[in-house]
Amino acid sequence: MSVETVPQRADAIAAAALDGAKAWSLVSLSERRELLEEFAELVAQQASEWVRIATQIKGLTPNTPPVGEEWVSGPWATLNYARHLVESIAKLEQGTSPTEGFDVRPVPGGRMAIKVLPHTVWDHLLLSGFSAEVWCQPGASAQEIRSTAGLGLREPGAVRGTCVVLGAGNITSIAPLDALYVLYADNRSVALKLNPVTDSLLPVYEAIFKPFIDLGVVQVFTSDLELGAAVIAHPDIDAVHMTGSEATHDAIVWGPGAEGAANKAAGTPQLRKPITSELGGVAPIIVVPGRWSKRDLEFQARHVATMKLHNAGANCVAGQVLVVSSSWDQKEEFLAAVRRALSTAPSRPSWYPGTAGRIKAARVDAPSAEVVGGTAERTLLPALDPTADEPAYSTEYFGPVLGVTELPGTGSNFLYRAVDFSNDRLHGTLGANILVHPRELRSMGADAFDRILEGLRYGTIAVNAWTGVGYLSPLASWGAFPGHTPDDIQSGIGVVHNGLLLARAERTVIRGPFRPFPRSWATGDASLTPVPPWFVHNRTAATTGARLVSFSAAPGWSKLPRVFASALRG
């Protein structure tokens, strides 16, 4: 039996993608909705197997709290997105905008913001106290936002060709979510190449995409670098979308090694087709000084630990630089609480390839590095110089390494300094986090605070929440702040998720409760959300995650008590 060569395999994948584009052009809106509904049902059916394999990939002990991360960031994120995208398609079928029923308001800089969370009664109950707005680009009017929503689904027959989607290896919902966005929003057929780390999930991905695979509009494959490069370069592949590292992006666009560096310097890309990307970055956690109770200090310290240690730090939006005020009289108490939170979070392996080398480099670069405990890898880099070119400001460690820097000031004075520092010193623009007591928010005023947010150039901004909540919000946009170019790519170009299919999304702003229920009521948040299931200290995260998947598969009042019962024990 003859074995296919790499060029032959690349030809076959590209030919199938070309046939898939033609087939997709014949699929009506209603049929596309039905395919997505079937996809959602298959995700629910495959959820347990999906989590079992992800648990093995990441070296987790089955049925322990860290497995909850796999339920929430894997099948739940995928299922929740599919269900919401179905609603957007249904509105287009009815001749209305996906934005019908969503409020729009003006925000600073000539922008309009559309409120995407909470929207349903389930949002109000399951994510009580959380909200999200998509801020659109300056000059986009409310009428334009509504009339252009739909992207490629506004003309489903006008398919835009073929696309290779390069799946990420860290979060298992990224590959299917990116594929769905390219398929529906960009209106292209999809050749989904898996990251080698997630190759063992191929049977699950093939199972959930079966309706699309049978139609010929999606194919899922594993490959080595040679085949991947051949498919990307194939003339019948019209576009590329990737989630990964800046180094991988540059190797694709400019070429590998010295040749790629020379091409980049000369401005002569090797890749001459459109490429969109989400590439991570160095995410700040800005802590606005205020008068916090001891329980506030402990809770928000655990919040910081979650931003850093979720998925063992192997997240493109993991918090990496903690920005605190040197003028805050509770600074040392808070940093002590952060050290405790990092050390007491449940142990889990630093599973992502290359983590040990990156941690070693971080410790060598910062002589003051502290090994905080919990696992051997957890590292704090205290007292980073805000005026120096610290490696932690430009290197995405993709592991359990947290830097700390201090700036002077209080209130809005400190916050403006922190915004400038984050914009000017930290590499990338994917996500930024702000922790601020409601008392300080009231003191600044809502309009003034929005003006501060306007100046923070990040694709997702989370206030008293982690930007990972933006990833989990199906109607929010997800991607870098607009403006990057191929020769200065940083966090990438374009967005995904964006369940309302907005044409000019600029950023998403997430807001959450400063305190969990029931203490949230003391600050006027009126939130019912206990310790969220994505918190690394949550004791019932695995049970809550599994019940969230079951609920999203078929929402109903009878399922809510089981979800709440588990969540409240967390």
Write out pLDDT tens, residues 187-206.
999 999 999 999 999 999 99
How many structural domains does the chain have? 1
Per-residue pLDDT at 555 exceeds 70: yes
The average confidence (pLDDT) of the chain is 95
pTM (2 d.p.): 0.96
Comparing 524 with 349, the larger pLDDT belongs to 349
- 3-state SS of 424-492 is HHCCCCCEEEEECCHHHHHHHCHHHHHHHHHCCCCCEEEECCCCHHHHHCCCCEEECCCCCECCECCCC
CB 476 within 8 A of CB 134: yes
Q: For residue 524, name the pLDDT band (cuts at 50, 70, 90).
A: low
What is the number of other CB atoms lying within 10 angstroms of the CB of residue 116? 25
Per-residue pLDDT at 1 exceeds 60: no
What is the number of other CB atoms lying within 10 angstroms of the CB of residue 311? 22
Q: Bridge partners of 8?
A: none
98: left (phi over 0), alpha (psi -120 to 50) or beta: alpha
**Of 544, 67, 52, 66, whose CA–CA distance to 347 is shortest?**
66
CA distance 260 to 253: 8
In this predicted model, what pLDDT tens digit does every residue of 371-401 receive, in sequence order? 999 999 999 999 999 999 999 999 999 999 9
370 is a domain residue: yes
- For residue 473, what are the domain limits? 283-502
179 is a domain residue: no
219 is a domain residue: no
Sign of CA dihedral 267, 270, 271, 275: negative
- The CATH number of residue 346's host domain is 3.40.309.10
318 is a domain residue: yes
Which structure tokens are listed for 85?
Answer: 């995208």
459 is a domain residue: yes
269 is a domain residue: no
253 is a domain residue: no
pLDDT of residue 298: 96
Look-up of token digits 């994505």: 534
In this predicted model, what pLDDT tens digit does every residue of 244-276 receive, in sequence order? 999 999 999 999 999 999 999 999 999 999 999
pLDDT of residue 564: 76
Per-residue pLDDT at 303 exceeds 90: yes
23 is a domain residue: no
Tell me how many degrees the CA angle 401-406-411 measures, rounded to the nearest 5.
120
CB 339 within 8 A of CB 350: no
Tell me how many degrees the CA angle 460-69-568 measures, rounded to the nearest 5.
95
Per-residue pLDDT at 520 exceeds 70: no
CB 428 within 8 A of CB 283: yes
52: left (phi over 0), alpha (psi -120 to 50) or beta: alpha
